[in-house]
A and B are shown apart, each in its own frame.
Chain A
Amino acid sequence: MAMSFIRKLMLSSLIVLIPFAASAQTFVFTAIPDEDESKLVERFRGIADYLQQELDVEVKYIPVKSYAAAISAFRNNQVQLAWFGGLSGVQARELVPGSQAIAQGVEDQAFFNYFIAHKSTGLERSETLPEEVRGKTFTFGSKGSTSGRLIPEYHIRTIFNEAPEDVFSRVGFSGNHTRTLRLVEAGTYEVGAINYAVWEKELEDGNINTDDVKVIWKTPAYPNYQWTIRGDIDERYGDGFMDKVREALLAMDDPALLESFPRSGFIPTSNENYEPIRTVAEQIGILD
Chain B
Amino acid sequence: MYLSPTAKISLLFLAIAVAALFFADIAITTVNPWRDLGQFFLGVATPDFFSTEGLATALLRTVAFAFVGVALGAACGFLLSLVYRFYPVRVFCAFIRAIHELFWALIFLQFFGFHPLTGVLAIAIPYAGIFAKVYSEILEESDPVPGRLLPPGTGVVSAFLYARIPDCWVQMRTYTAYRLECGLRSSAILGFVGLPTLGFYLETSFSQGLYSEAGAMLIMFYVLIATIPLWVKPKLLPVYVLSAPFFLGEGMPIVWGNVERFFTEDIIPAPIRNGEGLADLGAWFNDLMLNEALPGIWNTLLLTQIALVATGILALLAFPLISNHFGGPVRRTSGHVFLVIARSTPEYILAYILLQLWGPSMLPAAVALALHNGGIIGHLIGRQTNTLQLRPDAPNGFNRYSWELVPRVYRSFLAFLFYRWEIIMRETAILGILGIYTLGFYVDSAIQQIRFDRAMVLILITALLNIGIDILGRYIRRKLALQTMPTC
**Residues of chain A at the chain B interface (Cβ within 8 Å):** 1-3, 5-6, 8-13, 15-17, 19-22, 24, 28, 36-38, 62, 64-69, 71-73, 75-79, 91, 95, 118, 120, 137, 142-144, 170, 172-173, 175-176, 178-179, 182-183, 186-189, 286-288
Which B residues are in CB contact (< 8 Å) with A67?
Answer: 448
Can you add 14 more A-B contacts, CB < 8 Å, to A13-B76, A69-B194? A1-B169, A2-B165, A13-B71, A16-B72, A20-B251, A66-B448, A68-B447, A76-B111, A76-B113, A76-B258, A78-B253, A118-B31, A183-B359, A186-B30
Q: Return chain B residues, CB-CB under 8 Å to A182.
A: 209
B residues less than 8 Å from A65 (CB atoms): 192-194, 200, 203
In the complex with contacts A9-B75, A11-B242, A186-B32, A78-B252 CB distance below 8 A: yes
Please tell me if the beta carbons of A71 and B111 are within 8 angstroms of each other in the complex: no
User: How many Å from the CB of A14 to the closest CB on chain B?
Assistant: 9
By a CB distance below 8 angstroms, the chain B residues around A179 are 207
What are 18 inter-chain pairs, A to B, with CB distance below 8 A? A2-B161, A9-B75, A65-B192, A65-B194, A65-B203, A67-B448, A68-B449, A69-B109, A72-B450, A76-B113, A77-B258, A79-B252, A143-B449, A170-B29, A170-B360, A175-B207, A186-B31, A186-B32
Q: Quick check: A3 and B245 within 8 Å, CB to CB?
A: no
Give which listed residue, A38, A66, A79, A144, contacts B204 with CB less than 8 A. Answer: A38
Which chain B positions have C-beta within 8 A of A1? 169
Contact indicator per residue, chain B 72-100, by CB within 8 Å of chain A (1) or not (0): 10111010000000000000000000000
B154 close to chain A: CB less than 8 A? no
Contacts of A22 in B (CB 8 A): 250-253
The size class of the interface chain B forms with chain A is: 35 or more
Assuming the contacts A78-B113, A186-B30, A188-B30, asked whether A95 and B75 have C-beta atoms less than 8 A apart, the reply is: no
**Known A144-B449, A288-B270; contact A20-B30, beta-carbon cutoff 8 A:** no
B448 touches A68 (CB 8 A): yes
B359 — which chain A residues lie within 8 A by C-beta? 183, 188-189
Q: How far is the CA of A288 from the CA of B248 in the complex (A)?
A: 38
Could you tell me the distance between the alpha carbons of A77 and B207 in the complex, rounded to whole angstroms? Answer: 29
Is there an interface contact between A73 and B75, defined as CB atoms closer than 8 Å? Answer: no
Contact present for B241 and A12 (CB under 8 Å): yes
A72 touches B113 (CB 8 A): yes
In the assembled complex, which residues on chain A have CB atoms less than 8 Å from the CB atom of B194? Answer: 64-66, 69
The listed residue (B208, B241, B254, B435) touching A9 by CB distance below 8 A is B241
Taking the nearest CB of chain B, how far is it from the CB of A35, in angstroms? 10
Residues 338-364 of B at the A interface (beta carbon under 8 Å): 359-360
Say whether A78 contacts B114, CB under 8 Å. Answer: yes
Task: Give chain A residues whose Cβ lies under 8 Å from the Cβ of B270.
Answer: 288
B444 within 8 A of A: yes
In the complex, whether B238 has a CB less than 8 A from a CB of chain A is yes
Q: How far apart are the CA atoms of A10 and B124 in the complex, in Å? A: 13
Q: Is the CB of A20 within 8 A of B450?
A: no
> In the bound complex, do residue A143 and residue B445 qualify as a contact, i.e. CB atoms below 8 Å apart?
yes
B75 lies within 8 A of A38 (CB): no
Please measure, in the bound complex, the distance between the C-alpha atom of A69 and the C-alpha atom of B248, giving whole angstroms.
20
Instruction: Say yes or no: A13 contacts B450, CB within 8 Å.
Output: no
Q: How does the 8 Å CB contact mask read for B11-48 relative to A, with 1 for contact and 0 for none?
A: 00000000000000000011110001000000000000
List B contacts of A24 (CB < 8 A). 253
B241 touches A71 (CB 8 A): no
Determine the residue in chain B with the shortest Cβ distance to A145. B448
Q: Which residues of A contact B445 (CB under 8 A)?
A: 143
Count of CB-CB pairs between chains A and B under 8 Å: 143
Q: Mark B131-167 against chain A: 1 for CB-CB distance below 8 A, else 0.
A: 0000000000000000000000000000001000110
> How far, in whole Å, are A1 and B258 apart by their CA atoms in the complex?
41
**Is B394 located at the chain interface by the 8 A CB criterion?**
no
Minimum C-beta distance from B361 to chain A (A): 8
Q: Which of A10, A37, A72, A95 contacts B207 (CB 8 A)?
A: A37
Smallest beta-carbon distance A195→chain B, Å: 17
Q: Which residues of A contact B204 (CB under 8 A)?
A: 37-38
What's the Cα separation between A144 and B242 when bound, in Å?
Answer: 40
A12 touches B244 (CB 8 A): yes
Residues of B within 8 A of A9 (CB): 71-72, 74-75, 78, 241
Is B68 an interface position by the 8 A CB rule? yes
The 8 A-B pairs at the shortest CB distance, nearest first, are namely A187-B31, A78-B252, A65-B194, A9-B75, A143-B448, A22-B253, A78-B113, A144-B448
Complex Cα gap A120–B370 (Å): 33
B31 touches A188 (CB 8 A): yes
Q: In the complex, A254 Cα to B169 Cα: how many Å?
A: 65
B255: interface (CB < 8 Å): yes
Residue of A nearest to B445 (CB): A143
Q: How far is the CA of A77 from the CA of B256 in the complex (A)?
A: 11
Flag if A36 contacts B75 (CB, 8 Å). Answer: no
Would B29 and A188 count as touching, CB distance under 8 A?
Answer: yes
Residues of B within 8 A of A36 (CB): 207-208
Specify the chain A residue showing the minimal Cβ separation from B254: A19
Does B208 lie within 8 Å of A12, measured CB to CB? no
Interface centre among A6, A9, A66 (most CB of B within 10 A): A9
List, in ascending order, chain A residues with CB within 8 A of B447's CB: 68
Complex: how many Å from CA A71 to CA B165? 49
Q: Which of B32, B76, B192, B253 has the most CB of A within 10 A?
A: B253
Complexed CA–CA distance, A13 and B71 (Å):
7
**B450 and A71 contact, CB distance less than 8 A:** yes
Cα of A71 to Cα of B109 in the assembled complex, Å: 11
Kindly state the separation between the CA atoms of A113 and B182 in the bound complex, as whole angstroms. 44
Choose one: A2, A68, A73, A142; the contact of B450 (CB below 8 Å).
A68
Residues from chain A with a CB closer than 8 A to the CB of B463 are none
How many whole Å from B213's CB to the nearest CB in chain A? 10
Question: Which of B168-209 touch A at CB < 8 Å?
Answer: 169, 192-194, 200, 203-204, 207-209
B381 within 8 A of A: no
B120 adjacent to chain A (CB < 8 Å):
yes
Check B242 against A73 for contact (C-beta < 8 Å). Answer: no
The residue in chain B whose Cβ has the minimal distance to the Cβ of A1 is B169
Whether A172 contacts B435 by the Cβ 8 Å rule is: yes
Shortest CB distance B172–A (Å): 9
